[in-house]
Chain A
C-alpha cells in the first residue's frame, strides 16, 4: 500500500513538474506568438524581406542626321575601383595591374593610398569601362572591390552642349534639354520587394512580394541636325576669329515647322569635362536665355505691321531729313545723307530709323505715335509675333524678355518710336528668329521647338506632329516683306551668295546698355536672314556677335557668317537653283 502510494506520488510529482514546464513554455509561447506577434513578424520581414529599387534608365538624347536619329547623349556603365588597405596584400601587383589597365583613370598616388592601413576604403581608379573592370577582376587581386554607376557619355563631344545641358552629381538634369525635360528623361524607378537569401537573391516564397518594373525615361529625338549644328559651330568660330568678337550665337530654323536645326553659342564647354568649366554662365544657352535690344532686325516686323494695317507699302514714300522729332526727343538715322522723298523699301535697304518711326506715326494719326498706334504695335509685337513672352522651347532657362505695354507710363510715344527700330525692348534671339519665320513662311507663327520626336522601345523613330500655327500677318504682307528683305540683301550683301536662290535678310547693330545708359564703345552685330527658292523658304539663320568694348556691325561682322552657313545649307538641303 505504501509502495503504491509512493509510486503515485512520484508520477504526480513528475506530472506536476512537466505540467509546470509546459505551463512556462505555453505562457512564453503565448507571449512570443500572440502578444509579441506583430513585433516578431516585423523583425522577420526586416531580416528576410528586401526592398530593392530597380533604377529606371535615363532616356537617350538623339539628334538627326537628315531624317535618321543619331545618339548625342547615351548612358554608360562605369566602375570605381576601391581597395581595403587592411585586406589588400600584394600591393605591387595591385598597383601594376591598376596602372596598366586603368591608365589615366587611375589615381596617381596608389602606393600611398594602399599604405593607409587605418583606412578600409580607398578609391584607386574611377570611371573605368566594363572591359577594364573585367581585366582587373581577372587578376584576382585581394582587397579590391568595384562600384557600378551610370554616367552620361557624349559621342559627339561638345556638339550642341548648351542645348543639351547635363546631369549633376545627384542625377538631376540641369540646363538645356536635360534640365527642361528632366522628368520625361528620368522615368520612374521600379520596386522589387521579396524574401531574399543571404546573397540577396530574390525568392518567390512569401505573400507580400512586389515586382513593379521600372519605366525607363523617354528616348528623345531633337530637331537639331548634327551636320547643320557642326557647320554652324564651325562657321561661328571662324567668324569670331575673323572679326575679333569674343562672344557669338547662332540659330538655324526650319520656318515651315518652327523646328530648330542648329543652335549654338561661343564660348561653350565640354559636358564630359564639367569640372574644367570656370565660368558657369557658359552653361546658359544665350539664344534662349539672354534678352538684348535686337536693333534693326526688328524693322522687318515694323514694316510688316505697317503693311498689314494698310498704312504703308514698299513703294509708298516719306520725306527723310535724317532726324525726326518724337515728343521732346530727336531721333536720328545711323547713316546720314539719304535725304529727300524716299520709299520704305529704300529706308529698309539703308536701315533708316526715321522711316520706321514714320510707320509708327502712320499707325496713329500720321503725325505722332498715338495710343492707338502703340496699341497696334503692341498687338503685333506681343500678341502676333510673340515678342516679350516665353516661347515654350524645350530648353531650360528661357527668358521672356520685356515689351513694355502702352498701358503703363513707360510705354509712351518715345518708347514706341525706339521699338520701331528695335530699341527700348529686350528679347532673346529665339523670339526674333521665330517672329521672322512667320514673315518668310507666309504669315504663320510656329512655336519654336527642339523636339523632333521619340525613339520607342523597339528603336523606331516616331516623329512629333507639327503644332498648328497661329496667324501673325496676312500672306500678302508676308510675301511683300520677304521680297523687301531679298532686295535689301541683293543690293549690298549678295556678292557671296550662290546664284539662283532666293535669299534675303536684314542687318542689325544694337547699342549696349551699360550702367543704365547706352555705351559708346560697344555694339552687338546681328544678321537675320533666310534662304530657299522663290516658292518656299527652307531655312532661317540668325547670327549675333559681340565682345566687351568692341563695336561690331551686323553687315560687316555677322553677315559673312550668315553667308557661310547659307551657302552650306543650300548644298546640304540639295536645293536646285532657278535658271
Chain B
C-alpha cells in the first residue's frame, strides 16, 4: 500500500509553536464504501462470535469430562463400599464362630499368669 502527499500547509502559528509536528496528512488511495464497511463489521462480529462459541464449547467439553470422572469416582466408591461390606460380613462374629479355625479350637486345661 502506498501513500502520496495530497495536501500541505504551512501555518505561521504552527511554525512558531509546533515545530516538530507533522505538517503533512496522508490519505489512503483505497476507498471503502458503505457495503464494504458493513461486510467487514459483519465479519468481525462473526469472528468474535466464533471465538466465543469455541470457548464456550471448550468449557462445556470440560463439563462432560468432569461428569465422566465424577461417574467413575462414584462407581469406584460403590465398589469400595461393596467390598467393605463383604469384608465386614466375612469378619463378623457369626462367620468367625462358624469358621474351620474356630471349630478346631479347644478350651485350655489350665492358665498360668505372669507376675506383673
Instruction: List residues of A whose CB falls within 8 A of some B CB.
Output: 70-71, 74-77, 129-131, 153, 155-157, 159, 201-205, 226-227, 230, 576-577
**A130 contacts B79, C-beta separation under 8 Å:** yes
Given A205-B59, A577-B113, does the pair A74, B85 have CB atoms closer than 8 Å?
yes
Q: Which of B72-103 contact A (CB under 8 A)?
A: 78-79, 81-82, 84-85, 88-89, 91-94
- Residues in B neighbouring A129, C-beta threshold 8 A: 82
Q: Which residues of A contact B63 (CB under 8 A)?
A: 201-204
The distance from the CB of A324 to the nearest CB of chain B, in whole angstroms, is 48
- Let me know if B85 and A131 touch, CB within 8 A: no
CA gap between A325 and B45 in the complex, in Å: 109
**List of A residues within 8 angstroms of B67 by Cβ:** 201-202
Listed A/B pairs (24) with beta-carbon separation below 8 Å: A70-B88, A71-B88, A74-B81, A74-B85, A75-B81, A130-B79, A131-B82, A155-B88, A155-B91, A156-B88, A156-B94, A157-B92, A159-B93, A201-B64, A202-B63, A202-B67, A203-B60, A204-B62, A204-B63, A205-B56, A226-B93, A230-B93, A576-B116, A577-B113
A76's partner among B59, B64, B81, B92 (CB-CB below 8 A) is: B81
In the complex formed, the residue of A with least CB distance to B82 is A130
B residues contacting A by CB (< 8 A) are 56, 59-60, 62-64, 67, 78-79, 81-82, 84-85, 88-89, 91-94, 113, 116
Whether A70 contacts B59 by the Cβ 8 Å rule is: no
> Which residue of A is nearest B56, CB measured?
A205
What are the residues of chain B within 8 A of A76 when measuring CB–CB?
81-82, 85
Q: Which of A130, A155, A203 contacts B92 (CB 8 A)?
A: A155
**B64 / chain A contacts, CB cutoff of 8 Å:** 201
With A74-B85, A76-B81, A576-B113 already in contact, 9 other A-B pairs whose C-beta atoms are closer than 8 Å: A75-B81, A76-B85, A130-B79, A130-B82, A155-B88, A155-B89, A155-B91, A157-B94, A227-B93
A153 to B78: give the CA distance in the assembly, Å.
Answer: 14
Top 3 nearest A-B pairs (CB, nearest first) are A155-B88, A155-B89, A71-B88
The residue on B at minimum CB distance from A230 is B93
> A77 and B60 in contact (CB under 8 A), knowing A156-B93, A156-B94, A230-B93?
no
Residue in B78, B91, B113 whose beta carbon sits within 8 Å of that of A130 in the complex: B78
Q: Which residues of A contact B82 (CB under 8 A)?
A: 76-77, 129-131
